[in-house]
Structure 1
């Protein structure tokens, strides 16, 4: 019995081992579909990826047409590690081997920068093979270009029902977001945001009700997705109680004043609705009862008015961002800014960042500070810039000891900088620029040893900035003291404790010697010491010290000597402004990276360099120097020229004809006041981007080309004071954007062009185009009111002028010219024009200067001249005008300013000439009648003479036979000679043709 028990026990044990082995075997993946690897050290088993999922991943890779960063290089079908769980970006379950995560985000991209990192992005499409990854929980393909050829959002992703995380941000899909995403009921994180709102890559959704089927969703980001037609968006998101983060910024949402009876968003912490033009009272928004909010972004929403009373009941709020929410754009609401002054902020004890920049806020700054929560010692950032705050900064500003950023710039704050500002030792940025602050810079600022940015420019500060003040600012990287009345007084050999990157000292007194303490600032990126009273030559260390600088402005000083011959070593320099100094000598080889160079208004001499050394330069301004010789062919190597200003030099010869429009982008060309000669440069006909062309005060000759009308973007055309001849091309009226036309002092003849009404740029119905242009400081003058006047920067575009004076123009003044009702100055003087002044000239309401002197105009002055209410200069002298001078409006005052305005018109009478019109009027009428009768009698006399002469010849032939025979014989002889001449010539031509 004992033996039997042993055998039975042994059998039972064997059976048990077999069963256990079978169970274990059944739990393993089938042969060929998985790999079991035992870790000898730990005794654990790692499960490799499943075969069909590996195939699905390889099919996904086939849909990738470009992988410049080699992100998928480890995904191989043969050779290397074939376990897809070891591939880059792939995560598998350690228990089952299923792929549960794809992390293919383009990590080289800064998502805040539009189009950044495109050179490292995956390119291609999202393959439907991902449907084989049914256990996939995490899918991140963001910041890649996986939109595919159709650019449509892949609907099949709605079938991956185990997804918890889906990030497709910055993939430029186009079209509607599929409602199938509502099938992802386990989804917790969804990011469909775009890097920028672009109509070419614009996703949209007209119905957001699919969001209500995502009960677990905690994070939703649809920034820049067009939701303008999704009127139910607020109701949809309010039905997702699990939401913690909601970002619908820049979504073209129409309003946020929906009535929501059930607001289930009890857990939401971050709400960003910025960039949507709501344009309604801020108090009517639906979100004020979200007491769990820590971040509320409403920048750029144009919300206005008083805050909702529930605002004070948001104790968790840490960040309130109203940046750029500039108030209503409704002109009928006069008080369109934000009114936070009346809001109850007493309980906002956790407030850390308050951004109210550019929100049309006003009031006393001290009163605003009193409304801030006094219980919030954690207030770190206060942005109140670009508003209309007045008053003085309170001296108890030091109570917010945690402040890191204090930005009060671009307001109307006055008074002085309180010394208590020195107690804010945590400050990193202090910006009080562009206000009306006066007084001294307090020495206590030197205590701010954490300060990295000190920005006090554009105020009325005075006094001296000593090295003792600067010595305490050991962390300083950015300083702006420009446009004050400050003097920077430091020892020549002082070595500051800080290393600056951005330094702006424009209009500060730093001279007369070049500030040697800058020698130690080897990390300078931007430096502005313009108008700094420096009368010195450039130091020898200039190039080596500023070798890292990319932007330098040393203009409007008295810097003398020559430019450094080794300037080419400043390899980072992109913009250099050295204008209005006393520099002499030639132009050296320039830094290769340079894109803007302004060394105008100096005393540079010699020829232009044969090698500029900066092939990428786009803005080259050399005007008002002493540069001589011809323009070299090397200028044709500057293939990115946008602005070229060589005016006011001694250049001569013809302008080079080497430019090709496919390589050059000229928009502004200034060659005035030189000695250029030759014809109108023919190559310019290809530069249709030109909007300023100034060839005036040169020796150009020949006719104006007909193709000038093809330069459709021209706004300023100055060809005056040359030797041009011929007629004004009728195509000039094709220049519909033209604002300034100067053809004065040439040899142009013929009539004024018809169709002047086509110059719509000179009419009030024209929409200005120049506001879209970059407008530099222009060296341009306008001859108006008898004088040449210079206008700063873009102001010249506001002076619409026609100057055709001092030519040989004939004919009358076309009535159509009066349709140009935006013209400020019209000068047709010193020509040979005849006829009368258009009777409706009074509709040119913008006229400020009208000069018709020294022509052959006649007739009475139209009464409508008195309607020109802005007229301040009028010259009608030396014509043949007659009759009574009109009165009223500006005409009653102009004579005292210009008593010669009616000279040379003996037929004019009445005030202000003090001539009795009773006799003068009759005399004038008689002269007019005589003049008109002469004009009428001329064609009558010619016709009568022709008829009489014809009858005399006819009668002689008819009644005298000998004369009749002689006449016909003469006719026959002439006919015979003509016949013989034609036959001989024809035979000669035929013989030459046969010979050849």
Structure 2
């Protein structure tokens, strides 16, 4: 009975709301209430307009004239004339379908503040100002909105508010829709959301991005609002969903998004599994672990299940989930799931095989081959299996999946050729097969995919020729990537593509040596023609044909000439010209450019004093002939993340205005720069890579170096730095590469090296330095969250294994852990703490004035590959634990005062096989192999036969001793028989007995032999 009454009340409430809403949305008849809108409300709207400082999208262009009910975004009640609706949502949502947007960085947003005059709209029921930049100086506007008690619909999402969410919003007792979602790094928070329970009609709630950490009872609060149908609480820093709700009141809940929080508990324990009415459940990126609970089998209405980006390594579907027959989208990506791909797919509820539309199993550890029964998933339109360890061929049965639109199998180990019958998939929009071992030719049947939007075949073993037939029907193609294969592109000079490509990558294809004329017909906004064997200068049409392109990569060719003088008027955001033969000065840069790489060319002149390009994130100019001073214009690049000016002829001091908050890579090595350690660097706490080597910097290394807590690489070698190495350097917990060699540092090596925590533990991951620049913390990238540093080709010279080795910065060097303090004037002993650096691979302390003994526990440094302690004043014995270093490939202890026996071991005995004694030369006190000095008998390591084993064999002495021993032994027996009567009697009795036995044996055997001979 109670349920019936509640149902009737709910229906009456919804009917009343619908009546007023529909009434408000009817076409306006201004004369029905006496003509026009109410003057006070018109004045309030105009006051709001005055608070808007920018309206590039012309949302308010119609706000003129007497009748405000006819203005854009305004809705009035056609009977009373009161404004009941204000809807000014920004259009950036339409322009950016990927979900992340910052309204304060988009021209189509409204800029300004929300005027308190809106509070005069007492009858307002619908207010939507979402996705606009309207934080304004008045941070109390949200508090004041608590007085707009007629509101049913309130959407302020995306507006970058700061501060606490006001509890006054709980006064909006008629509210049915509330969206306060934040984007980006939110400054909005709440420590108490119990006010939500005062909104008894609330059906839609979104507070995604609002920080709600520390609110433990948030599920209990939500459970007090039975009408809720949609809940969005992603990225709220919620601590846990492990709550016990004895009775779930959310019987109408259909959509629940709890993604990107910090639950970190078993997947089994979550209050949401009781919500059997759910159609949409997103638990992605929560560090949940364990198996799916059996209660999931009760969620028979579930259509979308997203458990991606967690830690469910053994997740498999079981028989308990056979009732999930409504499932249409399943996302288990980025979980590290192990197992056979065919087993997982077969374990999916069979009733979903003909309903499942999207299946994402990407970025896991699946093995095996794609099953033939994959074609039984007849409604599957999106299949993402990329970044696993799949093998075998692409089954031709995929060609029977007639509704398949997106197929992503890249980053696997698939072999064989592309099935020709893929050309039958007429609805295919994405075909992504990059980074496999596929071979053969690219089938021309791909040209039949009239709806294909994106084709990526890069990094395979495809051979043959790409002709016009491959493109003939690709009228929807917008992006193509066939780079890094063995393909040759043969298109007629007058060929015109059937569509305008947005992105085309032909890197490492055979295209040169001349620029093919058909390129000018592409009109693409992104073009990659790197490593194509192109030679000579650009044709006349090139720059005009691509002046509207936003991305251009022509690296690793042999193109000469200079850049156009009007480059600043072009649209480039990413321009990669490295490893060519360009000459001339650097021209003014395009205003919108974010990535410029002109390294490894022959550019000359100076860096322009009016560089422009204020949005630059990556600037790589290394290995040119750029001279002069670093201009102050670089100081204005506030978004700069990566700066490489190394291997040029720059001089003078670095401008002190240089304070770039986002800088992570600062590389100025191999120039003629001078001055002291740049003081502005202490403010760049996000700095990861600092290389000032091979310059003329001087003075002492300041103590503030310890403030650079994120520093991974510190390279200051071959300068004129002096004084002590500050002990603060041991505070750099992420440091993995320290090179202070070739300076004039004095004093002792800092103690407490065990604080270099990264060097203490062997790393399984590279903590964000695997060749990429990451966006986190205070760093904010405008164009992308990760920039691939490997593309930038920075070269680093490393003194290791007794030689100077050249590394290309990227994934390999990111795992190289090294300390190089060589060629200084350091004194004192080698600190024993240094042996705690178990991850250290290279240690070079040579050419100093270090004294004392080598630490006895040096054998615990199991990762050591190269150890150089040469040209010091070290004394004592070489620790025997040195033989435990099984990874050691180079050792140099020469020119010290070491003494005692050289330890031996399987690894030590293989070092420097051509002349192993060079490792120990200059230590007169050492003995034993491989040096040519024998150790004395008093040596505690030498005992008995061990010492004799080192004596040279003398044949004459050996034979003389043998004869002498025989004679002495014979005379001892003779004398014993002569002087001992009892011995003499016993000896002759034994002799007679043996003689008789032998005589009888011979006679009997002879007689037997004679008898046998006679018989024959």
The verdict on a shared fold, with TM-score over 0.5 as the criterion, is yes
TM-score, scaled relative to structure 1? 0.75
Residues 661 and 686 of structure 1 are in contact (CA less than 8 Å); yes or no, is this contact kept in structure 2? no
1:477 corresponds to which residue? 478
The correspondence for 1:787, drawn from 798, 803, 810, is 803
The alpha carbon displacement at 1:703 in A equals: 4.2
Q: Where does residue 909 of structure 1 map in the other structure?
A: 927
Contact 2:511 2:534 in 1 (8 A): yes
Alignment match, 1:588: 587
> Given the alignment of the two structures, is residue 879 of structure 1 paired with residue 876 of structure 2, yes or no?
no
TM-aligned CA distance change 1:221 to 1:92, over 3 Å: farther
How far residue 482 of structure 1 moved from its aligned partner, in angstroms, is: 1.5
- Counterpart check, 1:718 vs 2:715: yes
Structure 1 residue 286 corresponds to structure 2 residue 295: yes
Q: Structure 1 residues 519, 131: closer, same or farther in 2, change over 3 A? A: same
In structure 1, how many angstroms separate the alpha carbons of the residues matched to 2:449 and 2:341?
38
Q: 1:226 to 1:784 in 2, by over 3 A?
A: closer
Is the alpha carbon distance of 1:86 and 1:597 closer, same or farther for their aligned partners in structure 2, counting shifts above 3 Å?
closer
Match of 1:490 in 2: 491
Equivalence map 1:641-652=2 (5 Å): 641-649=640-648, 651=649
Tell me the equivalent position of 1:526.
Answer: 526
Find the counterpart in structure 1 of residue 428 from structure 2: 427
Aligned to 2:870: 853
CA distance in 2, matches of 1:131, 1:609: 57
Give, in angstroms, the shift of residue 549 of structure 1: 1.9
Per-residue CA distance 1:643-674 (angstroms, 9 max, x = gap): 4333333x264234x33144576544433334
Could you tell me how far apart the structure 1 residues matched to 2:227 and 2:729 are?
68
How far apart, in 1, do the equivalents of 2:731 and 2:29 lie?
A: 86
In structure 1, the residue matched to 2:623 is 624
3-state SS, counterpart of residue 558 of structure 2: coil
Residue 142 (1) aligns with residue 156 (2): yes
| Superposed counterparts of 1:523-672, under 5 Å | 524-570=524-570, 572-629=571-628, 631=630, 641-649=640-648, 651=649, 653-656=651-654, 658-662=655-659, 666-672=663-669
C-alpha distance after superposition, 1:351-403 (max 9, x if no partner): 33333333544432134515x33xx3x43222232333332122232222222
- Preserved contact between residue 288 and residue 311 of structure 1 (Cα < 8 Å): yes
Partner deviation per Cα, 1:829-859 (whole Å, 9 max, x = no partner): 3344444333333333332222233334333
Question: Does the CA-based 8 Å contact 1:306-1:340 persist in structure 2?
Answer: no
Identify the range of structure 1 (388-397 vs 340-349) with the bigger mean alpha-carbon deviation: 340-349
Match of 1:836 among 836, 849, 853: 853
Q: Secondary structure at the match of 2:596?
A: strand
For 2:335, the equivalent position in structure 1 comes to 326
CA distance in 2, matches of 1:818, 1:341: 52
Task: Assess if the C-alpha contact under 8 Å between 1:153 and 1:174 holds in 2.
Answer: no
Find the aligned partners of 1:831 and 1:228 in 2 and give their Cα distance.
Answer: 53
Residue 762 to residue 475, structure 1, CA distance change in 2 (3 Å)? closer
CA distance in 2, matches of 1:301, 1:739: 29
SS in 1 for 2:488: strand
- Between 106-115 and 497-506, report the one with greater CA deviation: 106-115
Secondary structure of 1:392's counterpart equals coil
State the alpha-carbon separation in 2 of the partners of residues 50 and 118 from structure 1. 24
Does the Cα contact within 8 Å between 1:762 and 1:821 map onto a contact in 2?
no
| Deviation of 1:301 (Å) | 5.0
Preserved contact between residue 713 and residue 737 of structure 2 (Cα < 8 Å): yes
Cα pair 2:568 2:590 within 8 Å, conserved: yes
Between the aligned partners of 1:550 and 1:559, the Cα distance in structure 2 is: 20
Q: How many residues align?
A: 853
Looking at structure 2, the residues matched to 750 and 130 of structure 1 have their Cα atoms a distance apart, in angstroms, of: 67
Equivalent in the alignment of 2:360: 355
Secondary structure, counterpart of 1:782 in structure 2 = strand
Quote the residue 2:189 is aligned against.
Answer: 174
Per the alignment, do residues 165 and 261 of structure 1 end up closer, same or farther by CA in structure 2, a change over 3 Å counting?
closer
Q: Residues 909 and 916 of structure 1 are in contact (CA less than 8 Å); yes or no, is this contact kept in structure 2? A: yes
Q: In 2, Cα distance between the equivalents of 1:726 and 1:168? A: 56
Q: Give 1:929's aligned residue.
A: none
For residues 746 and 572 of structure 2, the distance between their equivalents in structure 1, rounded to whole angstroms, comes to: 52
Task: Please tell me whether the aligned partners of residues 609 and 633 of structure 2 are also in contact (alpha carbons under 8 angstroms).
Answer: yes
Give the stretch that moved more between structures: 420-429 or 881-890: 881-890
**In structure 2, what is the Cα distance between the partners aligned to 1:725 and 1:179?**
62
Call closer, same or farther: CA 1:731–1:393 in 2, change over 3 Å. Answer: closer
- Counterpart position of 2:670: 673
Displacement of 1:339 in angstroms is 2.4
CA 1:677–1:461 in structure 2 vs 1: closer, same or farther (change >3 Å)?
closer
Question: How far, CA to CA, are the matches of 1:261 and 1:760 in structure 2?
Answer: 43
Are residues 1:414 and 2:415 paired?
A: yes
Equivalents in 2 of 1:664, 1:314: separation in Å?
50
What is the Cα deviation at residue 761 of structure 1? 5.2
Distance in 2 (alpha carbons) for counterparts of 1:263 and 1:826: 58
Measure, in 1, the Cα distance between the counterparts of 2:77 and 2:499: 53
Structure 1 counterpart of 2:839, from 822, 826, 832: 822
Shift of 1:481: 0.7
Contact 2:701 2:722 in 1 (8 A): no
Deviations 1:13-52 (A, max 9, x none): xxxxxxxxxxxxxxxxxxxxxxxxxx9x99995589999x
Unaligned runs of 5+ in 2: 1-25, 104-108, 112-131, 775-788, 943-1016
Distance 1:445 1:838, change over 3 A: same
